Structure 1
Amino acid sequence: MRMTREENRNAGAGRRRAAGQPDDDSGLNAPDYAAYVDEYYHQDISGRDILPADDRVIPALTALCFRGAEKATERMVGAALDAGLEPRAVIEIFIQSALYSGLPRTEEAIAAANRVFAARGISLPDDPEDTRTVAQMDADGAAVMAKLHGPRQAGGYASPDNTVTFSLYQGAIRHGYGQLCVRPGVDLRQRVIAAIAGFTSAALHDSLRKFAFSALNVGLSKEQVAEAAIQTAPWNGLPIALNGLTVISAAFDEAGV
């Protein structure tokens, strides 16, 4: 049964409050603004259930990390924990986001998360030291690339024949696929959700096109790939999300899926 506008607004307001933004927040103090964002952004967009609740917050965390909105990031960290995302997973999403937003934004987001953790009495244990050799990391990175991208793994900037790009990309294989992607806390599927959101946020359309198709190899449906871009819209703005969706749609059309 279709909800009335009042029901939509009320549901959106509930989501907003649950995400840590109360009705008396000064940022909502504009004529009819709260009703507008509650109905549209917090309900019509954030209320979509194509991704499970704990996966749905991953694009939001990624986009907020990219934007550097620390107050909103703190709120979303709390919402992510309440949605069932583990504290370590939150941190891993921000570490993953360094690939798209750079180290300063990631470290600001980690600091925001740690403030939330401290307020909730949460602490994270250290990982055991990674004792793999460089050769082992390269092999692990190649295995992750093969699983994710299949025969398309060596195309474009990833091609060993392109000496200009591969001088940087070789490190991405070793430390991105071989080190980052095997860290505990989130699985490869969740990392790909973050990647789709990150490439959308940064308007990195060539990379988004590649990962949109590869996402199907780790258990995401076409609808869920698109949803990873859609869920960035409240934080990036609609044009950025729509441009990402256009790229994703074209990638599926080109691949015939």
Structure 2
Amino acid sequence: MKKLAPIALALSLGGTASIAQTGSALERAAPALAAYDQNTVEGNLWQREGLSPRDRSIVSVSALIAGGKTTLQPKEFARALDNGVTPAELSGIITHLAFYAGWNNGVEAAQVAAALYDERDIASDSLPGADVELLPLDQETEDARKTSVQETHGATSQGVVDFTESPMFLDLWLRPDLAPRDRSLVTVSSLVANGQSEQVTFHLNRAMDNGLTREEASEALTQLAFYANWPNVYSAMPVFQDVFDSREQ
């Protein structure tokens, strides 16, 4: 009999039960945190305007996957589906973040999602595979990106440059399981969550080019303060402000 990985095994024994146990553990070990969780996170943060519930879920699951934080993933993956993120989109988020946040984090998140999909009778053949019709490529933008990366980093690691071109920008970024705006929001959320602010400028501009508004970007930071951490969000805020200012000139 094939052995399940620990995360998948725990979830297969009852994803809903594990979520309930997390809540009871908070009340048992950190009652003040339980109160903040109920009153501030659930009662305030998730009720705020500025981001739709679906977008809040995209930001939250992206931060959790990027940080390898599997404890809250069952709860937030389920909430994401309830908030309108489709199973195909969640699969796309996991696939995308395997590149941007590490293969191990992607594999662990896939185990969590697999258990949830089993619980909800979501068939694997309903999810996008490797062979899909890609979105159109903006050749001018890609040529500029390719030239810049080659000139800046080619002498350091041609292998990284090559894989950045393909499969990342010529395949991953063109997959139809995520809209371009959402894929950029996932990427920005991951970068902020992991404190990689130096990469934010390019991807935040790309997100806003693809339809993310300033208000939505600002509110994403608010969500990330809780689901990533305060210091990384504060480190990212000057970068966000620079992008906002540059786009108003």
Report the TM-score when normalising by structure 1.
Answer: 0.77
Give the partner amino acid of 2:95.
I
2:182 is the alignment partner of 1:187: no
Comparing 77-86 with 172-181, greater Cα deviation is found at 172-181
CA contact (8 A) 1:88 1:124 kept: no
Deviation at 1:79, TM superposition (A): 0.4
2:151 is the alignment partner of 1:160: yes
Provide Cα deviations, 1:86-109, integer angstroms capped at 9, x if missing partner: 111111111111233200011000
Comparing 176-185 with 81-90, greater Cα deviation is found at 176-185
2:212 is the alignment partner of 1:217: no
Q: Residue 245 of structure 1 is aligned with which of 233, 237, 242?
A: 237
- Runs of 4+ that moved beyond 6 A: none
Provide Cα deviations, 1:45-67, integer angstroms capped at 9, x if missing partner: 23223222222211111111122
- Aligned residue for 2:191, secondary structure, equals helix
The aligned counterpart of 2:39 is 39
2:107 is the alignment partner of 1:107: yes
Give the partner amino acid of 1:172.
T
The 5-angstrom pairing of residues 9-158 of structure 1 reads 20-21=19-20, 25-29=24-28, 30-125=30-125, 127=128, 130=131, 143=138, 146=141, 153=145, 158=149
Deviation at 1:145, TM superposition (A): 7.6
Give the partner amino acid of 2:155.
V
Identity of aligned residues (%): 20
CA contact (8 A) 1:203 1:240 kept: yes
CA RMSD of aligned residues (A): 3.0
Give the partner amino acid of 2:214.
K
Provide Cα deviations, 1:32-90, integer angstroms capped at 9, x if missing partner: 33222222223332322322222221111111112222231011111011111111111
Provide Cα deviations, 1:175-195, integer angstroms capped at 9, x if missing partner: 112111222321111101101
Consecutive unaligned residues of structure 2, counting only runs of 5 or more, are: 1-15
Give the partner amino acid of 1:206.
E
Q: Residue 176 of structure 1 is aligned with which of 157, 168, 181?
A: 168
CA contact (8 A) 2:154 2:161 kept: no
Deviation at 1:128, TM superposition (A): 6.3
Size of the aligned set, in residue pairs, is: 229
CA contact (8 A) 1:210 1:251 kept: no
The aligned counterpart of 2:12 is none
Alpha-carbon spacing, 1:165–1:255, altered in 2? closer, same or farther (3 Å):
farther
Deviation at 1:243, TM superposition (A): 1.8
CA contact (8 A) 1:60 1:232 kept: yes
- Aligned residue for 1:38, secondary structure, equals helix
Alpha-carbon spacing, 1:100–1:34, altered in 2? closer, same or farther (3 Å):
same
Deviation at 1:235, TM superposition (A): 2.0
Deviation at 1:173, TM superposition (A): 2.0
CA contact (8 A) 1:21 1:75 kept: no
